[in-house]
Amino acid sequence: MEIIIGILRDYLIVINIFLAAIVIFFERKRPVYTLFWITILLLTSYFGFIMYLFFGMSFKKKNKLKRFYSRKFLKHTKFLITSNYIHLLRWKELIHYLEVVSNSKITFNNEIKIFNTGEDFFKDMTTNLLAAENEIKMEYFIFNDDELGSHFYNILTRKAAEGIKISLIVDGAGTRDLSKRRIKDLKTAGVDIGIFFPSYFPFLKIGNLRANYRDHRKLCIIDQKICYTGGLNIGDEYVGKGKLGSWRDTGLKVEGECVLEFEKEFMVSWNFVKNKLPTNRIDDLDAPKFPIKHEDSLVPIQVVSSGPNYEFRTIRDSILKMIIEAKKYIYIQTPYFIPDDTILDALKIAILSGVDVRVMIPSIPDHLFVYWANQSFYGEIINLGAKIYKYQDGFLHSKGVIVDDEIAAVGTANFDYRSFYQNFEINIMIYGIEVKKFKDRFYRDSNCSILISKDEYKNRGNVQKIKESICRLVAPIL
């Protein structure tokens, strides 16, 4: 037996060295990511290769998935410039970039409503779901089968019985507790459901080598007229009934031309989970006509999706561009503050250039590794003059970046490696007067937060410093 174990151990060492060579010569990842996996593979002979299979392998663009995630490239950008939108000239390069790399067209004829609690958000969503006349499309990372989840599953079942076309996508890892019985009942009722990267194994919910690439989006599209998105998944914790108590999040209800942009993104995911190619170009979708609003009430919005299938990290890059262009302030709300080196350096440059940088994170952790990594990263900017707030009135799950009263990036993406490089995410870029509403809410949340002083951070204990250092090492996969 000892001989067999010794042989297996030797083979595992060889396999790990082989995988380390693959990381160096073929994966072409970011240097910090490459060094992380080389360290793991060479120091953990027995299970390093298992970790790499599930968390390290690239989402290859040259496989069949490229058929579903291909994007056309635009030659130029055209957008409306009027007396009220002169400020868009400052962001024309960003608008152009997002259109070129992800076909994210800017639209103007839109309305937006902001929700700061799950209770209000889901109440409004319920009303419009029950009023749906033609179709409902939903895509969620987490769609639990608890009290809130059952409420919405029952609505979908009811609407399907009325003849409404229902299409539902749930993530195979995030919604791993969805029972076969519930899936069967939904299908029997007429709900068409697709699982994003389902498990290969009947008793292992995340038994898929692509489970590390998560469909982290949250979308509810009703009759091509209304879209609900933001940070709120469907589960009891998102209405304050979980172990973390009160839940502070940002939900968005958008109406108007931008809903078609969400529809396009949903259809790409739908074609993928159903393993079929679109019969028509996604850009040729028919859309309802919205009455043209007065110039003063137009809301410029750009829907921005990203994922490992893209050549460029569109959400990460758009946030980087916002930071670089900031003149007055940068306000960041996120449950996970784990920026990559480039964004961290950009924040430092902004601070040293006189830009008011403020970061708000939770005071209570939902994941301990992430919590201590948060501490490590904000420590690098607090000493330069950044203001760090820890939200006290429950758990902060809101995700947004606000710059200079002119632009806000809000949606499903956290401020971390996973959202920037690994997850399938969707944000909206909001330009113009609506941005002030997000800033005002940031100020209100600041009143429910404590401001961390430089001295407080400097005088933290040695045990805390050790935790921060360890957790920072695994930041690339958090």
Residue of 105, 99, 193 lying closest to 152 (CA atoms)? 193
More confident residue, 44 or 457: 457
Q: Of 105, 137, 218, 390, which one is the catalytic site residue? A: 218
Q: Of 137, 216, 253, 390, which one is the catalytic site residue? A: 216
Backbone angles phi, psi at 142, to 5 degrees: -120, 125
Concerning whether 286 is annotated as a catalytic residue, the answer is no
More confident residue, 74 or 154: 154
- pLDDT > 60? residue 332: yes
More confident residue, 145 or 475: 145
pLDDT of residue 62: 42
Q: How far is CA 108 from the centre of its chain?
A: 23
Q: Of 105, 321, 390, 399, which one is the catalytic site residue? A: 399
What is the average pLDDT score of the chain? 82
pLDDT of residue 296: 57
Concerning whether 215 is annotated as a catalytic residue, the answer is no
pLDDT digits (tens, 9 = 90+) for 345-394: 999 999 999 999 999 999 988 877 777 788 888 989 999 999 999 999 99
Q: Where are the beta strands (DSSP E) in 223-264?
A: 226-230, 247-248, 251-256
pLDDT digits (tens, 9 = 90+) for 9-50: 555 555 555 555 554 444 545 555 555 544 554 455 444 444
Concerning whether 171 is annotated as a catalytic residue, the answer is no
Q: Of 404, 416, 445, 467, which one is the catalytic site residue? A: 404
Q: Of 185, 223, 356, 393, which one is the catalytic site residue? A: 223
CA angle 398, 338, 210 (to 5 degrees): 90
- pLDDT > 80? residue 178: yes
Largest interatomic CA distance in the chain: 80
pLDDT of residue 401: 98
Concerning whether 223 is annotated as a catalytic residue, the answer is yes
pLDDT of residue 294: 53
pLDDT category of residue 248 using cuts at 50, 70 and 90: very high
CA distance linking residue 422 with residue 141, whole number of Å:
14
Q: Of 397, 416, 445, 467, which one is the catalytic site residue? A: 397
